Structure 1
């Protein structure tokens, strides 16, 4: 926060001695408020992503009430604005198709209404970056409230987590190693309460990263959704937002390159989702860091060990992480890689936020000299198959496959893959390639990248195989998957030219991914290549016309920060 008092935006609506000012006050009084409720007070907009179909956000209707309690306590005027809810799993074809739509709606809701500061209620995967991208572009102060992880799952006395163990037990079911009754029981054993996935998937990755950036209150990210501390945190965030309205910085001014470098350090220490790479680039470019790129992210996190022993790369749940000290404790262990002078939305430095933090369980938050794995959480590979780059999560992959050469087996989309994968003559040394899953091709870049192991290989005990795609993978999943290949196949990237039988070479340590095919042969194939038919109407048509590639954060070209001041709406 700054010492200088900000002029309230809402005054332009409520304090004008004009016919418009009269109408604004009149309509507010029509809703049962008194003039003294909103006149001269900070108006705090609560952007709420609650939905009856967003399982992670079932409790956010009540959390909005908790925020209002804090706003009123601090002398503000709370107003709730419902927005698009990106509930993972039930939204098709993918929530990533709508992240930018949530960002647009958030930005325009905040700009069009008399809002002085915002509280952003979210947590499920794309919700966090979408809200922050929108609030950054709206150019007002904001604080983020993480939805919080759901209760830990339990099945026959064993810890089970959403996504991670869904995949594990699905493979067992395909092999005939689990009963039908057990499979049905698992439907309720894994997901037992409101809240985000209790594994280190994309949801927990993004909320924890946002805390490390100072956009959420210290300690907020890991509080379980059903913990009584969660409503208390929400009320406190309401108080902070009210103060932000008078003394806070807009996110566009608050966020610096150091904040994003700290996010990279947190990502590595968490062993977080590869999806974070796309979201952080998009968030950085909304904040005016137009040249921030994937290699900057990886460089900032270079050498940071994976210390959070959480599924899918470890063996604990988010509630265990919270009980072990949460993000404050984790960040205290990687402080040598952090810029501790970055300022959070509460006006305090990161140094202050982690001061006095302690780790209560060294098995959950490991010491630096005893990491979960020696392999990093994120690596970038480039080469003739991925000129713009691709990513892999070495910490959740197989060490023996980090350097590999194999025969390509190519699938054109998930339907082709589903029809053929269990019937092709595929060996454990082959490389599965799925194309047509990028931001333009799908569209929306679904989480198709974790291709299933062919059933004949599963039955032989094969647990991993190299897989390559221009799509994404759930952060709750695992395996040697090369993701986000850029440029994607739908725009003519080299992935479009691969044929079954080609040789592919992967060397993660050297940062290489190459298609071992003669240039003349590739040129001949390119002459025959035709782009897929694009959507002709609706949101999908707008999306494919303006979305960037994975290396650029998959944002729309017309939404990037351009250095010009945000235009306030005219009031006549």
Structure 2
């Protein structure tokens, strides 16, 4: 094994300070020489998403110690989309991802630790952990800590997705606040991430497809024997990875990202996986265009699984059917099977060892659920840099729409218009100024879409926004994350009430039917955008965040 970077020359100041601090923690002189592993814990009492993570640290430390290493718990910010979205109209959600990355860099790189095991839970933690692994490029394993068990409401299975969706029905009078409260009290019966194919479970599966999670570990029920087996295996394996000097950039190459995109298309994963995988590629120094991969592969990759909200299957059924490894087994002819993994064997050897996959839950390639893409990138005069559309497995949503624009400058303004009966069927509802810099932080627009659904307008209008949508639920025809955003001179910021907008999902186009000369005049009349002032995190983020084409990474 090569010399450990955590071991300093005896007699030096750094060596003496480290020995003094760690002796006080109970480490022996022999411990000082062992591989030192960060246990990255995104834990908080704020949400059930990660309320169980603290209990995982002790067993993981023991597994690392038994393998010949020493584990150190490192805590980071712990954002939950359900809780952290309350402040600043949800604008803290995406910037929290990059805050976690920097938390990890400060702790792990500042201490010059030798490797890390990342306990991943809610939506932003898995991409953040993968980004940090790529940036620091020290041996790393992502451990998905599982989805939450769901409950029963009035005889029907319900989960957090149902609560999220039905919240929009109260304002429309289709459900009472008391009924929603009863559903909310029954939807979640234990810790873990949302029990649907939202961003959390999608990114857990993507981590395994990238080769950065232990094989067969995703998705997983939080607290289950399978989760605990993965924790123990990761503790043993991380010490071996340090000895073998296998690093994330050895694993996450162009073929790995191609594999992850293929997997996301096959399960119609969260729309947020596009920007997250692109951000991971940027941090890993991998020259790959994830958005272009989605565009290239979308017509080729069939839909093999339909987990809620894409279909009727539950995430526990997907896990029991074979999970991510079973999915990759099905997709083997379309994958780069030579890609290495944190487990040691290449991906091809792992998928070849799979002996059984439920053919009804995870379909074979020759008998897919559908052949249309679940994630579509559209481009045109309104979105030269692209926008993202999510389709259900059934593909029965609105696929073409043309109508006059109704422009809103905030989510709240739009919701008020719905409540006051000002939104009409046939309109294209534009929410602009909600992008990375305009918000700043990319505003969360799901509440607006759910309010439309609650008002019975979901199929009667189209929505176009430079804000983001929840990866858990999408209703109606929504084009989100339009780029370039309106606040930095993108065409979306030039739209006026009554302008005609056309969207064609099958043709992958979105156009603003206004002459270029008129748009040029509108652009010239716009006041110069002033950079945000202040020391707050959102202000810092707005001044440093790069475009979506770079994964919305800082300095990108």
1:474 partnered with 2:470: yes
Q: State which drifts further: 484-493 or 96-105.
A: 96-105
CA gap 1:110/1:527 in 2 versus in 1, 3 angstroms: same
Aligned to 2:48: 55
Give me the whole-angstrom Cα distance separating, in 2, the residues matched to 1:329 and 1:158.
29
1:465 partnered with 2:448: no
Post-superposition Cα deviations, 1:125-181, rounded to whole Å, max 9, x if no partner, equal: 111111211121112110001121111332223222323x12432344344333444
Is the 8 Å Cα contact of residues 380 and 511 (structure 1) preserved in structure 2?
yes
Q: State which drifts further: 535-544 or 334-343.
A: 535-544
Query: What SS class does the counterpart of residue 246 from structure 1 fall into?
Result: helix
Is the 8 Å Cα contact of residues 193 and 226 (structure 1) preserved in structure 2?
no
Post-superposition Cα deviations, 1:109-138, rounded to whole Å, max 9, x if no partner, equal: 211114111101112111111121112111
Aligned to 2:225: 228
2:216 to 205, 216, 219: 219
Is the 8 Å Cα contact of residues 312 and 396 (structure 1) preserved in structure 2?
no
Q: State which drifts further: 129-138 or 443-452.
A: 443-452
Aligned to 2:313: 316
Post-superposition Cα deviations, 1:221-280, rounded to whole Å, max 9, x if no partner, equal: 211002122122112101111111111322123310000000100101111001000011
1:45 partnered with 2:38: yes
CA gap 1:128/1:508 in 2 versus in 1, 3 angstroms: same
CA RMSD of aligned residues (A): 2.1
Query: What SS class does the counterpart of residue 392 from structure 2 fall into?
Result: helix
Aligned to 2:15: 21
TM superposition shift of 1:463 = 4.3
Q: State which drifts further: 177-186 or 410-419.
A: 177-186
Correspondence list, 1:121-520, <5 A: 121-163=119-161, 165-395=162-392, 399=396, 401-448=398-445, 451-452=448-449, 463=459, 465-479=461-475, 480-520=477-517
Give me the whole-angstrom Cα distance separating, in 1, the residues matched to 2:426 and 2:395.
13
Give me the whole-angstrom Cα distance separating, in 2, the residues matched to 1:375 and 1:530.
43
Is the 8 Å Cα contact of residues 330 and 359 (structure 1) preserved in structure 2?
no
Is the 8 Å Cα contact of residues 381 and 390 (structure 1) preserved in structure 2?
yes
Is the 8 Å Cα contact of residues 430 and 466 (structure 1) preserved in structure 2?
yes
Post-superposition Cα deviations, 1:386-412, rounded to whole Å, max 9, x if no partner, equal: 111111112369645212211111111
CA gap 1:271/1:259 in 2 versus in 1, 3 angstroms: same
Is the 8 Å Cα contact of residues 446 and 471 (structure 1) preserved in structure 2?
yes
1:11 partnered with 2:7: yes
1:36 partnered with 2:30: yes
1:69 partnered with 2:67: no
Post-superposition Cα deviations, 1:10-40, rounded to whole Å, max 9, x if no partner, equal: 112xx4232432232122112222111232x
Is the 8 Å Cα contact of residues 211 and 347 (structure 2) preserved in structure 1?
yes
Is the 8 Å Cα contact of residues 212 and 251 (structure 2) preserved in structure 1?
no
Give me the whole-angstrom Cα distance separating, in 2, the residues matched to 1:162 and 1:333.
29
Query: What SS class does the counterpart of residue 481 from structure 2 fall into?
Result: strand
CA gap 1:526/1:368 in 2 versus in 1, 3 angstroms: same
CA gap 1:454/1:120 in 2 versus in 1, 3 angstroms: closer
Aligned to 1:83: 76
CA gap 1:400/1:266 in 2 versus in 1, 3 angstroms: closer
Is the 8 Å Cα contact of residues 150 and 226 (structure 1) preserved in structure 2?
no
Is the 8 Å Cα contact of residues 254 and 288 (structure 2) preserved in structure 1?
no
TM superposition shift of 1:554 = 0.4
Is the 8 Å Cα contact of residues 150 and 194 (structure 1) preserved in structure 2?
yes
Q: Tell me, which stretches of 5 or more residues in structure 1 are unaligned?
A: 561-572
Give me the whole-angstrom Cα distance separating, in 1, the residues matched to 2:295 and 2:260.
11
Aligned to 1:566: none
